[in-house]
Structure 1
Amino acid sequence: MHGLTTPTLTVSRYESRPWIRTLRNVEKSLRGGRARLIALVLAIGLPVLAVVLGLMQQGLPAETIPPPLDAEPGRWIDIDGAQNTRDIGGYVTADGRTVRRSAVYRSGTLSHVTDAGCDTFTDLGVATVVDYRNRLLPVPLYNGDVFCVHRAVKMYGFPVSFRSEGPEAGRYLQGLEENAEAFCDTFDLLAEPERLPLMYHCAAGTDRTGVMTALLLRLLGVDRNTVLDDFKLSAKVGTPGNLEGMLALLDEVETAGGIETFLERLGVPATVQQRVRENLLE
């Protein structure tokens, strides 16, 4: 039409040449390749760096406090690099039976166990370890239990957090209620014979581990005073527990109508309680 012009694209005579277009395509591919290479390096390198840093923290030396000189024979397990490790067996129950020895162990962290300690741990024949520390995964990295523990057993991470604020007398009971699933899961494991021997632990082997032990011993028929004496043994290796909290917890067990009713309310069925007794009493 008159008065109108059709716009045209001006193409450089160099740009129109095929070899120039090929070079530009190659350049674009190289830029994309570099980006993919950088992404690949980061995807591989960052996890590797995380693993290396984690390994640097795993198994660091720690002072081992030996069992007390007046230790009851067979009660304490001397694992080099660990502390507060004990066999909960040997106690006599109200009906005259005895808690099985070498079936359930309690302990502080297993993150610093030495090679010699690994030999001792392996000799125990532990089949299952439960870690109550507040960790994302039960792995050796970042101060997790040492590799020899992971090689020897089936590991379970049941994170438990006990609050540090509020009256001391209520902390164990509150912690138990807020972390009921972790303790119920431990009872489930104890109800399965193939999971034994089983060891559960936290950091110091005193609070979270102490609550689990108190509930278990009471279920097995060990009297209140003996349970308290067992709880107080942690103080002999420099990790005293919250005695007020333990007294309040045991009081609540009695108020509930006994350990069976208390555990049922917590979420441990009567059938599981019975299997635990069958597995751990003789």
Structure 2
Amino acid sequence: MTPGPGPGEGRSGEDRVRLVRLEGAVNVRDLGGYPTTGGGRVRWGRVYRSAALHRLTAADLATVEQLGLRVVYDLRTEAEIERAPSLLPGGVRCERLAIGGSAARTRELTDLVVAGRLAEVPPDFLARVYDAMAETGAPTFGRLLTGLAEPDATPALFHCTAGKDRTGVAAALLLSLLGVDEAVILDDFELSAVHYTDPKMARLRRRLDGTDVDVERYRAVFGAPREALGTLLAALTERHGSVQGYLEEAAGTAPDLPERLRAQLVEPLGQG
């Protein structure tokens, strides 16, 4: 159960929702509303996460424009961006912060699934992908989080292709620095199963209807199991003492980064 407002629920009784509904993009979500240590909560309308933005309709662009985004951080590789360049409203700055590795590993997994060799996929595959991503992508995650801490840096949005792996890890790191409880962070991560995995599986079922392909085996590719992210967070804590320690040691972020992020993105309960 997701603490605070979930998909389609009002924000503390207000007429706002976590999910931003777009025709041409999925898994677009506001990271606001989550409680933080010290009696605060993440501000609504400051940071969004999403999947790729290359199929936005005119109506979508109008909706995105209403979010007032100042910057969009694109975590995809150059090759991914070339295949599917983002569509954004005028005046929105786009920063490319490529985090590689996960796309290639996902293709590797997809190839095994398509070939019917699911037994060869290790049960901790995604956890391994996330761990490798955190180590090789640490400087990029650090730049993203440092950028979000700048005055007047938000509203902002960060995204990858599916909005669940690279984006999911980035969101987890951000929420951790903001003081959100780990169980809530994992709940937020699992929302990708609702807003990405389930729709993706439904489209696959329609496409493969009448064939003898077991569509469910693709869930290993498109899933968002909380165990994978939980394993990563535990590993970072074991190696670096905390998520903050990981970012300082592996990404070179400043010791006051959490404080600066909270100043921008956390408010006392009852405000907003």
What's the TM-score once normalised by structure 1's chain length?
0.69
The CA distance in 2 between the partners of 1:159 and 1:152, in whole Å, is 22
Secondary structure at the residue paired with 2:73?
strand
- Residues 1:177 and 2:116 aligned together: no
Runs of 4+ in 1 over 6 A off after TM superposition: none
The CA distance in 2 between the partners of 1:252 and 1:89, in whole Å, is 26
The CA distance in 2 between the partners of 1:127 and 1:137, in whole Å, is 22
2:217 maps to none
2:153 maps to 195
Contact 1:84 1:108 in 2 (8 A): yes
Contact 2:138 2:247 in 1 (8 A): no
Gaps of 5+ in 2: 1-5, 11-16, 109-121, 198-222, 268-272
The correspondence of residues 218-233 of structure 1 with structure 2, limited to 5 A, is: 218-233=176-191
The amino acid across from 2:53 in the alignment is L
1:80 maps to 23
The correspondence of residues 1-282 of structure 1 with structure 2, limited to 5 A, is: 71-73=8-10, 74-135=17-78, 142-146=83-87, 148-149=88-89, 151-161=90-100, 162=102, 164=105, 167-168=124-125, 169-239=127-197, 240-255=223-238, 256-267=240-251, 268-282=253-267
The CA distance in 2 between the partners of 1:126 and 1:172, in whole Å, is 28
1:213 offset after TM fit, Å? 0.4
What's the TM-score once normalised by structure 2's chain length?
0.72
The CA distance in 2 between the partners of 1:260 and 1:160, in whole Å, is 19
The amino acid across from 2:227 in the alignment is E
Q: Deviations over 1:172-215 (max 9, x none)?
A: 01111111221111012111122211100001100000000001
Secondary structure at the residue paired with 2:194?
helix
Identity %: 36
Gaps of 5+ in 1: 1-68
1:123 offset after TM fit, Å? 0.4
The CA distance in 2 between the partners of 1:108 and 1:280, in whole Å, is 22
Contact 2:190 2:225 in 1 (8 A): no
1:242 offset after TM fit, Å? 4.5
The CA distance in 2 between the partners of 1:70 and 1:262, in whole Å, is 31
Secondary structure at the residue paired with 2:260?
helix
Contact 1:207 1:242 in 2 (8 A): no
The CA distance in 2 between the partners of 1:254 and 1:278, in whole Å, is 24
Distance verdict in 2 for CA 1:70–1:244, change over 3 Å: closer
Q: Deviations over 1:127-179 (max 9, x none)?
A: 000011111696xx642101x34x23111011112252674222101111111
The amino acid across from 1:261 in the alignment is G
The amino acid across from 2:84 in the alignment is N
1:33 maps to none
The CA distance in 2 between the partners of 1:142 and 1:257, in whole Å, is 39
The CA distance in 1 between the partners of 2:95 and 2:230, in whole Å, is 29
The CA distance in 1 between the partners of 2:52 and 2:196, in whole Å, is 14
1:258 offset after TM fit, Å? 2.2
Q: CA RMSD of the aligned region, Å?
A: 2.0
Structure whose CA Rg is larger: 1
Q: Which has the higher contact order (CA 8 A, sep 6+)?
A: 2
The CA distance in 1 between the partners of 2:38 and 2:196, in whole Å, is 34
The CA distance in 1 between the partners of 2:196 and 2:137, in whole Å, is 26
